[in-house]
Amino acid sequence: MKRIAVFTSGGDAPGMNAAIRAVVRMAMYHKVEIFGIQYGYRGMIQGDIIPLQSRSVSNIIQRGGTILRTARSEEFMMYEGREKAFNALQQNGIEGLIGIGGDGTFKGLSKFMEEFPVNVVGVPGTIDNDLYGTDYTIGFDTAVNTALGTIDKIRDTAAAHERLFYVEVMGRDAGFIAVDVGIASGAEYIVIPETETNIDDLREMLRHYRKDKSSAIIIVAEGDEEGNAFEIADKVKDAAGYDYRISVIGHVQRGGSPSALDRCLASRLGAAAVEKLIEGKTGIMVGEINWKINEIPLEETWKKHKRVQPHLLELARILSL
């Protein structure tokens, strides 16, 4: 393996820059030429490929976002687009690819590998923490702490005004952020896509709390089957007698300086991805399970479902009594 390239794709996640830095410097350590592909698959098709050096990644470990930028690409979903991408890699002599992103990124890599002779390794970068084969994904810890800081402030005003707050966090298909934030903030109720939400039970629970709790917090993952925070609040209405407000934290969860945990995880996984390519591995994601590097076929990262542990919801309920 003489030349490899790294790119970021899909939604950005805090720690992506730390992973890029690790990829670049581990490649240079092994005397492998390293390139960066800007704007994800779109940049790959357009040949937006630049050489990277050690100083190219100086002072980025603490930065959110991604210095390589990211973009969606409809064209890459078609064979003709992927063929253009492969030709661009060939023109630059690139033999291996490291893609940092989520399941959409990995589906693209898997299809690309099937059609063209290029080695690919995925690095899990998504705040949703929904990829099978790793305990945590890059960006998850920072997103949880970002949301938690906001909810702690909301708790203050909820108590001051004796209000119920519905707080919506990101999680269209997965409730990992909602569960961790809910437990850490002492929320009274957590609503996630993985479990069925019973509005009548929620009303009854709030009536029970109203007897001796002047304020309450309900965490809502945006993808719940009963709807978003506004829709759920409308269904519950004033059944509990609380004056309520709704707060949507939104995309602020994607940004900001990555936590120490995310920086360290990104550094370990970025370095491991380079080593796997050098070993001749392809079609895998590198993750971390029980603090050890784990490799798993790309297809399993989305075909096998990573589940929120049910006992965590029960724990949150007990601790909110």
CA 91 to each of CA 39, 45, 49, 70: distance values in angstroms, whole numbers, following the listed order: 18, 12, 10, 22
> Order of strands across the sheet with 33-37?
49-51, 33-37, 3-8, 96-101, 119-124, 284-289, 292-297
CA 17 to each of CA 36, 43, 46, 107, 206: distance values in angstroms, whole numbers, following the listed order: 12, 17, 22, 22, 43
Per the document, the length of the chain is 321
Tell me, yes or no, if 128 is annotated catalytic: yes
Catalytic residue among 128, 130, 180, 224: 128
Number of H helices and E strands in the chain, helices first, is 11, 11
Place of tokens 């119920």: 164
CB 187 within 8 A of CB 147: no
**Cα–Cα distance for residue pair 95/182, rounded to 1 Å:** 44
Both structure tokens of 80: 């003709």
Residue 203: phi and psi, rounded to 5, are: -60, -45
Active-site annotation, residues: 128
